Amino acid sequence: MNTLLVKYSEIALKGRNRRFFEDRLVHTIQAVVPEDATVKKERGRIRVTLADAGDMRQAEEALSRVFGVHSFSKAVVVESSIEAITDAALDKLVGAELHEAASFALETRRSDKGFEYTSKQINEIVGKAIQEAHPGVSVDLNDSDFTIFIEVREKGTYLYTDKDLQSGPGGLPVGMSGTGLALLSGGIDSPVATWLAMKRGLSMDAVYFHSAPYTGEKAKEKVLDLARVLARWKGEAMRVYVPSLALVQKEISENAPEGYWTILFRRSMQRIAERIARQKKYGLLVTGDSLAQVASQTPENLTAVNAGSTILTIRPLIGYDKVETVARSQHIGTYAISTRPFEDCCSVFTPSNPKTKARLVDVEKAESRCRSLEKLENQAIEEMQVFEVTPGKIQTV
Ligand code: ATP
Ligand code: MG
């Protein structure tokens, strides 16, 4: 068996949109499966044929991370004749598994309406042949231990079982919704937010604010390692922009009242990220904020952080609680990295008593005392490092 049949969710996909979706999906799948595999669209399905059946596991691994994939299954492909279908069901599908199963079901779909038997007739013919070959097992359509799926399509018939069916992550193929820039810290939340944005079809890159000499190389490595994991889901390299916030933080901490530091840092980050996004043509920003009573995440403070910024900023985690976010980060593969103990840039300058309900006028007043802020923000962009990150490699650009 060297074929994988990929299903995607067709809901809400019409006309041009659908073609765009399929083409993006084929493109992403092609990029992540072994190089010599062929990837073809087939009316509502994508068929992946491996040159080497030994690559099956690797291809399945890759597909389980492709956004837009609803499910996939290794499948037997035969010509569309009732004899070939029956033989394939008997020889290739129902082996040892059926002996253990007390009952089985058949589900046939016939998208080739020219085929001489109806779905119901195919079920009956194949079902009977299986029962004759395996007396003792019964057909039970409602509560079976084993289901055989048969899809009669124009270019051949696919057979697979529910045991081979695996879930994909769903969502939309990366790139279908354009591009976004995530504010990626070393924490648990922002990698999950980035992943959720990718799931909705955004091709994501990231900006990480480091704060050397207050934060070390290890903190930066941590974020680049998070980007490696996210790049695997993205299916292509992820760019990580790394400006230093150190001088901005120094300016703020020397001039503004301590209670406002956190909000002012976040406002600078927002402005710098917006400027990078405009320059590099990203469509929106993504942050890992949720609603919480910590200093940057009350409605008042989120308002103050965003005031003055016009780029769309989405916060996919806004209604998540921590337990959900942690579970998701474990599934994504970022949790173990996020929980490595290194300081992020804001914990160095954490005020003892941060404002949680800052009024915008007061925030602006505090900020106006930091006269070099704009210059320092521009300098941070001019001097930033840029990395190109793939699962296997981190390169400076
Ligand atoms: P996270 O787990 O993502 O760090 P958090 O719950 O710790 O989130 P905050 O530290 O208040 O929340 O930060 C809120 C959001 O601001 C982060 O999710 C991230 O998007 C952005 N952010 C914070 N610090 C940085 C940083 N050093 N570089 C880039 N983005 C940052
Ligand atoms: Mg954080």
The pLDDT tens digits for 60-69 are 999 999 999 9
Q: Could you identify the atom of ligand 1 that is nearest to the CA of residue 190?
A: 3
Q: What is the 24 CA–ligand 2 centroid distance (Å)?
A: 33
Q: What is the 202 CA–ligand 2 centroid distance (Å)?
A: 22
334 pocket-lining for ligand 1 (C-beta < 6 Å) = no
User: In angstroms, rounded to a whole number, what is the distance separating the alpha carbons of residues 151 and 154?
Assistant: 10
180 pocket-lining for ligand 1 (C-beta < 6 Å) = no
CA-CA-CA-CA torsion sign (171, 176, 177, 180): positive
Q: What is the pTM of this model?
A: 0.93
Q: What is the 287 CA–ligand 1 centroid distance (Å)?
A: 7
Q: What is the 263 CA–ligand 2 centroid distance (Å)?
A: 13
Q: What is the pLDDT of residue 348?
A: 66
Under 8 Å between Cβ of 281 and 179 = yes
125 pocket-lining for ligand 1 (C-beta < 6 Å) = no
Ligand showing the shortest atom-to-Cα distance for residue 290: 1
Q: What is the pLDDT of residue 140?
A: 78
Q: Could you identify the atom of ligand 1 that is nearest to the CA of residue 297?
A: 11
222 pocket-lining for ligand 1 (C-beta < 6 Å) = no
Backbone angles phi, psi at 137, to 5 degrees: -95, 150
Exposure string over 59-69, b if 16+ CB within 10 A, otherwise e = bbebbebbbbb
pLDDT tens per residue, range 7-57: 997 666 777 788 889 999 999 999 999 999 999 998 889 999 999 988 999
Residue 373 DSSP class: H
Position 243 confidence tier, pLDDT thresholds 50, 70, 90? very high
Pick from 181, 183, 313, 332 the residue to mutate for probing ligand 1's pocket: most ligand atoms within 8 Å of its CB.
183
Backbone angles phi, psi at 156, to 5 degrees: 140, 175
pLDDT at 388 over 90: yes
Ligand showing the shortest atom-to-Cα distance for residue 346: 1
pLDDT tens per residue, range 149-191: 999 988 899 999 998 999 999 999 999 999 999 999 999 999 9
The residue whose CA is least distant from atom 25 of ligand 1 is: 185
Pick from 189, 347, 377 the residue to mutate for probing ligand 1's pocket: most ligand atoms within 8 Å of its CB.
189
Position 113 confidence tier, pLDDT thresholds 50, 70, 90? confident
In this prediction, what percent of the chain has a pLDDT beyond 90? 75
Backbone angles phi, psi at 324, to 5 degrees: -65, -40
188 pocket-lining for ligand 1 (C-beta < 6 Å) = yes
209 pocket-lining for ligand 1 (C-beta < 6 Å) = yes
Under 8 Å between Cβ of 185 and 337 = no
346 pocket-lining for ligand 1 (C-beta < 6 Å) = yes
317 pocket-lining for ligand 1 (C-beta < 6 Å) = no
The residue whose CA is least distant from atom 20 of ligand 1 is: 287
Q: What is the 189 CA–ligand 1 centroid distance (Å)?
A: 7
Which residue(s) pair with 391 in the sheet?
Answer: none
User: In angstroms, rounded to a whole number, what is the distance separating the alpha carbons of residues 154 and 382?
Assistant: 57
306 pocket-lining for ligand 1 (C-beta < 6 Å) = no
Q: Which residues contact 379 (CB under 8 A, 6 or more apart)?
A: 247
208 pocket-lining for ligand 1 (C-beta < 6 Å) = yes
268 pocket-lining for ligand 1 (C-beta < 6 Å) = no
pLDDT tens per residue, range 51-110: 998 899 999 999 999 999 999 999 999 999 999 999 999 887 766 666 667 788 999 999
